[in-house]
């Protein structure tokens, strides 16, 4: 259980760390054929609020109803995300992500081993444990965070190259 909580905390830590460097990054710049950092952050928050949180809420509120993992495409997730939140100042968006994750973490911490073993209906009517669903959602978030890291790295490389060209290097 503690390993699961540690994994789920990762997103909150990354959001807080990104807040320290985000001002130096063109976070609304969209790479060719890709998403901007803001777009990835919106997708991460939409995913945690529309797919992850409903699962943890159902369990912690004592619901005995069958659990279902919403199957939504990335486009559907973003489409359903609050339009006002899409244009929040970037620091507020990062705070919102961290706050939402805190709520999800509190739910996971209240779960028992029995809760984590509960079946969840996933795509095509298949069943898997709640713990496995949570682990897969966390893995999806890590993949999204890797995309952000890749964009940051590319932007820093480009910035270094431009600085070198300007200095005659």
State residue 33's pLDDT score. 82
Tell me the domain boundaries of the chain.
2-156
State residue 51's pLDDT score. 95
Please name the CATH architecture into which domain 2-156 falls: Up-down Bundle (1.20)
d(CA 6, CA 13): 10
d(CA 37, CA 150): 10
Compute mean pLDDT per 10 residues along the chain, 169 residues long, and list them. 89 87 89 91 96 94 90 94 95 94 95 95 90 95 91 84 77
State residue 163's pLDDT score. 79
- From residue 3, how far is each of 10, 25, 126 by CA, in Å? 11, 32, 25
State residue 169's pLDDT score. 57
DSSP string, 119-154: EEE-GGG-EEEHHHHHHHHHHHHHHHHHHHHHHHHH
d(CA 132, CA 98): 22
State residue 74's pLDDT score. 93
State residue 109's pLDDT score. 95
């Amino acid at each position: 259980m503690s390993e699961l909580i540690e994994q789920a905390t990762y997103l909150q830590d990354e959001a807080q760390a990104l807040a320290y460097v985000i001002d130096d990054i063109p976070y609304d710049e969209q790479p060719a054929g890709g998403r901007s950092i803001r777009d990835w952050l919106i997708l991460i928050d939409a995913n945690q609020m529309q797919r992850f949180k409903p699962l943890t809420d159902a369990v912690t509120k004592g619901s005995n109803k069958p659990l279902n993992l919403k199957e939504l495409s990335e486009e559907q997730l973003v489409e359903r995300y609050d339009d006002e939140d899409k244009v929040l100042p970037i620091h507020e968006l990062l705070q919102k992500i961290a706050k939402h994750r805190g709520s999800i973490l509190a739910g996971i911490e209240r779960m028992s081993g029995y809760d984590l073993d509960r079946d969840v209906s996933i795509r095509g009517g298949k069943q898997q444990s709640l713990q496995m669903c949570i682990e897969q959602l966390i893995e999806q978030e890590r993949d999204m965070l890797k995309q952000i890291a890749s964009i940051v790295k590319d932007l820093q490389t480009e910035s270094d190259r431009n600085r070198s060209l300007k200095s005659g290097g």
